Amino acid sequence: MAVDELQAIIQRCQVLEEADFKGEDFNLFQVAGQKCLEHGYAAQLLEVIQNEKNKVIIKNMGWNLISPLVRCILMYKQEDDKREHCLKILDQLAQLCNPKELFLGLLEQIELTSGEQVCQTVMLLLQPLQTVLLKLQNKKAYSVGLSLAMIMNQLTPLPVPYTKQQIQEDKLGLCQCCNAVVDFAKPFANEVVKNMEKSSEYNDTELKEELLKFCMKSLKYPLLTAQLEQLEGIEKHPFRHFAAEIIDILWNIRELIPLLFLHHKGQSPHWENEEFADIERKNSAESLACLSYLVFVQHFGIDCFPVVFSPSYLLQCNMRHIEVLLKRTEESMLSKGLDLFESCLLRMEDNSLLHRYLELRDFINVPQVLVKVMTLCPIEHLRKKSLNILQLFIDKFEAEGKYTLFRCLLKTSNHAGVEGYIIKNIKDQIHLSLTKACDIWFTGHHLISLLDLVLLLPEGAETDLLQNSDRIMASLNLLRYLVIKDGESDNQTGVWTMLDKIEQNFLKPLHVGLNMSKAHYEAEIKNKKENRREAQNSNTICSLTVSGEKMPAMTTEMQLQVLHSALFTFDLIESVLARVEELIEVKIKGGMDENS
């Protein structure tokens, strides 16, 4: 019945001129063709389409079959003969139909697909879409750009496989689909290359710009999110292959080096809506950051890379990219930022980075963002790596740079652990100055200015000693070192000049704070013990506040352990404080004896 209906409309249209086809003919052909497909007569429909006599009919009306054809192909199993017939019909339509109309029909199907069928539909239609685009004469660049944008918009909501198992399973087919899409784009990239080779003054940049947009979108998704390290057991990593192909396109169309180094000269699209402009800038920044990661960490395209840039210049170019990645909270992006930062630093020799780089905003912003990763990131191995990279960053600066960086971090980190770590670094630099080469930045009046930031309690005697214990212990250890290593008569560090200020701003308030804190915690312990005796059950759940933060619910016994631990910390601070004061007294007395 369905085949008869189709034959009837075909016979009717065969005797008509192309200009005489009516809307009714189109509708009847679509309905009859759809019935053939749905009732399993794909073979008969294929015969009709392949018949030379029907060429004009198919050219004008065939695109109407795309929607039912796609539905049937996705419905049939791989081994089904009907599916094979449908695929041949699709191929024939790509060859015979009006390119403009078929282009719109194919694009509509990609736009309408969703969920688990996105990758299947895209991969199914890429070949016919490519065939049609290669035939187009007018607005070819626009049509290629529209196709690539539509495809990427449909893929972007899909989760990117990250673990080895997810990549191997490729449940939604995204890995396979991404590589199919880049293969789809290659002929158009080759066309741009040929045109550029024909003329050094090649001005038709529209197609080139559309390919550049596609590459930028691909860098943001899926590559920014993807796991790009070599994985054991995966011979051909799909995302590494995809990344290599994107880099190849950028290199071939002569955009790789400009993107890496000259992107700040580029013009951003003008948006009247400022919100859209911000989104565009953010997307571009993330794409460029991913590109730098691919080149400088994974070494894609590195063979084409000119070996003329100094390590410090490469670091400078990448600092903004590093900041963009470190501000993200996702593991895949954070790890890329850390890897890129580490890679740039490892190219440099220690003590080679000049202090003037810290006049650049990015060189101040990045260590501050890195500190946030160190202190706030929930992923332990990334916290540890960020600490190692901070030390690497410090090591690369010459003395004045280290001095400036220390001052900055002491003022901005707002974290006692980080401040303690910086103070330990200051101590190491002072040691180098005193034992190896005298350095004006870690001796004399420069050091005195730095010690003013170190040897004090932020809020005097009211400072939370428990919360600031790392900083306080580091400061006491530094002071102890200075008193031991720098005699009062030498006073290279200036510590003896500022001793009264140290007493006033640090040692005396610390004594008062310790007495207050110990009394408070001892009273807390006494109260807890009394409450425990009164309670019938010592496992009663209570709450406890330490350093202004409410602790998780815990038993009285657990609370007592926390309180005793705090007292132990105060005792430790007190013992080091006593030792420092003893050393100061001995040194002063020894100096007096020498003078007498």
Strand partners, 397: 353
Residue 147 lies in a domain: no
The mean-pLDDT minimum among 31-45, 64-78, 276-290 falls in 276-290
- How many domains does the chain divide into? 1
CA 532 – CA 514 distance, rounded (Å):
27
CA distances to 320, 524, 533, 569 from 544, in Å: 43, 10, 18, 18
**pLDDT score, position 25:** 67
Residue 569 lies in a domain: yes
CA 360 – CA 363 distance, rounded (Å):
6
> With contact defined as beta carbons under 8 Å apart, do 191 and 136 qualify?
no
Across all residues in the chain, what is the average pLDDT? 88
Residues in contact with 42: Cβ distance below 8 Å, sequence separation at least 6, in sequence order: 36, 72, 82, 85, 86, 89
pLDDT band at 271 (very low <50, low <70, confident <90, very high): very low
CA 226 – CA 239 distance, rounded (Å):
7
Count of CB atoms situated within 10 Å of the CB of 351: 12
CA 15 – CA 260 distance, rounded (Å):
61
- Residue 580 or 545, more confident: 580
What average pLDDT score do residues 2-24 get? 71
Residue 469 lies in a domain: yes
Strand partners, 546: 549
Residue 303 has pLDDT above 90, yes or no: no
Instruction: Give the residue from 44, 49, 51 showing the smallest Cα distance to 61.
Output: 49
> With contact defined as beta carbons under 8 Å apart, do 581 and 499 qualify?
no
3-state SS class at 554: strand
Residue 405 lies in a domain: yes
Residue 293 lies in a domain: no
CA 310 – CA 477 distance, rounded (Å):
39
**pLDDT score, position 264:** 47
Report CA torsion sign: 73, 79, 81, 87.
positive
- Residue 472 or 30, more confident: 472
Q: Which domain holds residue 475?
A: 398-531+554-595
**pLDDT score, position 436:** 82
Residue 479 lies in a domain: yes
The mean-pLDDT minimum among 309-323, 436-450, 472-486 falls in 436-450
Residue 13 lies in a domain: no
Q: Phi, psi (5° rounding) for residue 200?
A: -70, -15
CA 521 – CA 223 distance, rounded (Å):
53
Q: How far is CA 22 from the centre of its chain?
A: 55
- Peptide bond preceding 552 in cis form (omega within 30 of 0): no
Instruction: Give the residue from 593, 592, 594, 588 showing the smallest Cα distance to 483.
Output: 588
Q: What percent of the chain has pLDDT over 70?
A: 89
Residue 9 has pLDDT above 80, yes or no: no
pLDDT band at 543 (very low <50, low <70, confident <90, very high): low
Strand partners, 549: 546
Separation of first and last alpha carbons in the chain: 125
Strand partners, 541: 555
**pLDDT score, position 540:** 55
Per-residue pLDDT of 351-399, as tens digits, reads 999 999 999 999 999 999 999 999 999 999 999 999 999 999 999 999 9
Residue 478 lies in a domain: yes
Instruction: Give the residue from 490, 472, 497 showing the smallest Cα distance to 580.
Output: 472
CA 149 – CA 137 distance, rounded (Å):
20
What average pLDDT score do residues 388-412 get? 97
> With contact defined as beta carbons under 8 Å apart, do 10 and 49 qualify?
no
Pair of tokens at residue 91: 């191929």
CA 340 – CA 481 distance, rounded (Å):
37
C-beta pairs of 419-425 under 8 Å, 24+ apart in sequence:
419/470, 419/471, 419/474, 420/470, 420/471, 420/473, 420/474, 421/387, 421/390, 421/470, 421/474, 423/454, 423/471, 423/474, 423/475, 423/478, 424/474, 424/477, 424/478, 425/391, 425/394
What average pLDDT score do residues 336-349 get? 97
What average pLDDT score do residues 188-192 get? 94
> With contact defined as beta carbons under 8 Å apart, do 407 and 453 qualify?
yes
Strand partners, 550: 545
- Peptide bond preceding 99 in cis form (omega within 30 of 0): no
The mean-pLDDT minimum among 262-276, 314-328, 473-487 falls in 262-276
> With contact defined as beta carbons under 8 Å apart, do 283 and 245 qualify?
no
Pair of tokens at residue 144: 């290629």
pLDDT band at 132 (very low <50, low <70, confident <90, very high): very high
3-state SS class at 266: coil
CA 285 – CA 325 distance, rounded (Å):
9
Q: What is the CB-side half-sphere exposure of residue 505 using CA atoms within 13 A? A: 14
Per-residue pLDDT of 442-453, as tens digits, reads 999 999 999 999
